[in-house]
Structure 1
Amino acid sequence: MKIRKMKTYQIEFFTAAIVIVLVVGGLAYSFASMPPSDDSSDDIELLLDRAGSADSTPKAMQRSTPVVLAEARAMSFERSITVSGSIQAKRFALVSARVPGTLDAVFVDEGDVIEANKTELFQTDSVKLSKAVAIARQELTVSQCAVQEKQAMFEKSAAVKQQAENDLRRSQELLGKNAMAIQEVEKVESQYKQCEADVKHVRALIDLATAQWEQAKLNVTIAEKDMADSLVVSPICGRVSERLCEPGEMAGAGTAVLRIEDLSLLEVSVYLPAEYYAEVIPNQTAMRVRVGDTDLETRMVSYKSPTVTHQLRTFKVEGLIESPPPCVVPGCLAEVTIVTDRREGIGVPAEAVQNRAGHSVVFAVQGERAVEIEVETGRHAEGQLEIVRGLDVGTAVVAMGQTLIENGSPVSIVQEQSL
């Protein structure tokens, strides 16, 4: 077995030697058959270099790396938070029946334009309430007649009293002349006192009838008010967004029949984490609002909730949207950016900053070679990274190809980005 293995090894060795000889001979024949030219010496030198010249490695390392430059520019950097919020109407009304009862009619439908204090919305139990008004007015008439009756009774009682008073005076005169018995005088005096009491009684009846008359007047006023309240008009301007009840259904007090929203003034509301509470100041903190493809520009925060919810540790922030475009309506999803701080600084493309040996660096180009510059970074904005220290405005830095170079590497500028 050992002899067989050695023989196999020798055969492989001799076969490889023969192949090398044939390859070298083929190359020699090829160069010998090539026509003479000025570049033949260069080709031979290149082949020799590839074959293992001692100087081949340094020449390969001297190749330039193509790079793209971008200038550091002055720009604004913000501390902000972007969250999703919702659009809702600032002014809205859930209109319910003032007088409970059956809905006779609903005069508006969803989408209708409403005018405040003019547009009739719906009515409840108009027949019942109209009859109640008629009854109250009839009771008022009855009470008025009762007052007139009591006044007539008073006049009668007053006349009887006057007659009794005259009889008493004459009886007393006759008694003074001893022309009338004292018992008869006492009877006349008793009749006078009874007539006087009747007058007081009738006066009390007149006061009672007058009070009942006033009560009937108030009942008429209440009945008329209930009748007027059965027909509900719009409390605000806007449009009907929801119709919650239909004719024939019972509408109790406090049960919403329609929802009306004023679309001329909207508000966007979002919830922010509690750590931003001190940084958000109403009428000072800016917010950018975007709904779909519609940019609603920058506006101020109009409201901040006075407390933070203990369940989620968030607080509510709102901003007004005056005269919104037609595509922005209540219920839309909004992308809101709350800007808590803003400052000017120097920015470079974020990808231009590399982390080398635990330090943030950028590469500039000087004399066709890369120069490594250590920098201190800050905030991000629009794909740019803030350079707090280490770089000046206008300095060109490598924005593409920076991952392939080191400090001192030869580079070739392909183009400069325009920011």
Structure 2
Amino acid sequence: MKTANTTHQPKLSQAVNSIEPSGIRRFFDLAASMDNIISLGVGEPDYSTPWNVREASIHSLERGLTAYTANAGLPELRKSISRYLLERFQLEYDAGNEVVVTVGASEGIDLALRSIVDPGDEVLVVEPCFVSYAPLVSLAGGTPVSVPTSIEADFMVEPDLLAEKVTEKTKAVMLSFPNNPTGAVMDNETMQRVAEVCIDNDLIVISDEIYAELSYDCDHQSVPILPGMHERTILISGFSKSFAMTGWRIGYVCAPQMYAEAMLKIHQYGMMCASTMAQYAALEALENGKDVMEEMIISYRQRRNYFVESLKESGLECHTPGGAFYAFPSIKKTGLTSAEFAERLLLEERVAVVPGSVFGEGGEGHVRCSYAASMAQLEEATERIGRFVAKYLSADVESR
């Protein structure tokens, strides 16, 4: 018989202990404690959810539509998602068996990984990338393997490097284009070569296309439309970015039936279903919210052009992002690490950006700046950034 022990010793899982807290949060918490901050750190639109979308959710409450939906989501929403993907991206998914509505795209990523990863499996993670990818691979029992990209290649995947990273343990690759944090898009030729690597090595592809609508210089080419890719791709998307619905936490996964059913099983036990009221809002967004989305795209393109050009004028190297709403300038000329640059910029000029190092290999030497802010804020922010950069560039010259 064990001796009674009145002191509890926490017994956390090794998987949880192995991952670090989000590197973004420290800067957000610091910025929240300061005045006169211009935040270019938050990855969400500066638009409010369109009124008709909000009203649809309110009306669902007034009608008493507050019960659970089907685990996979409202049938009419899944049908609308299927129609939308066909009309906009020429993708064909059966609404009844290949579409699952999730609690944001983030749950979709988690479901995709947990449905395919076994202990010991390797998952190639193209970086820089959204901060959750590698930790979620680890939490699913797999091993994340970084595939870095670079500003020299416009942050596109280099197919030969991707192929070099494949081992007998590799099961999947995670792609995200348009990319967070770089804003990069993949040209059609390079994406086709990446697809060939995946086919040759029989890899599953998890393609996070949450920023698909926010493509500025060319039409978005979705991964599963490529020859041989539909049957091996799990598509992740949602309403947060293109419909300004971040707080609603509503997304979806689309995949061949076998994968969709596997993800649905996990979703049933973990979430039951996405918020009913949010689902009705999402339905309205798809049916009657595209005009507002197109207005946002035009506005973001204008802001991108202004912001990137201003960064270049300040002396920072910055590739022109083809999508999303982020610029990812190189700050190496200042002699500061990305964390030092972000912290000093915040303290000295009251501008919040995110250090590139938190986004994985290839991110160091850069910072992420969201241009989903008003033009007035961007103008003031670029003035402050220019003043900050000039000081450090001058100091570097004087030290030589």
TM above 0.5, yes or no, is no
Structure-2-length-normalised TM-score = 0.18
Rg comparison, structure with higher value? 1
Of Structure 1 and Structure 2, which has the larger fraction of its residues in strand? Answer: 1
TM-score normalised by the chain length of structure 1: 0.18
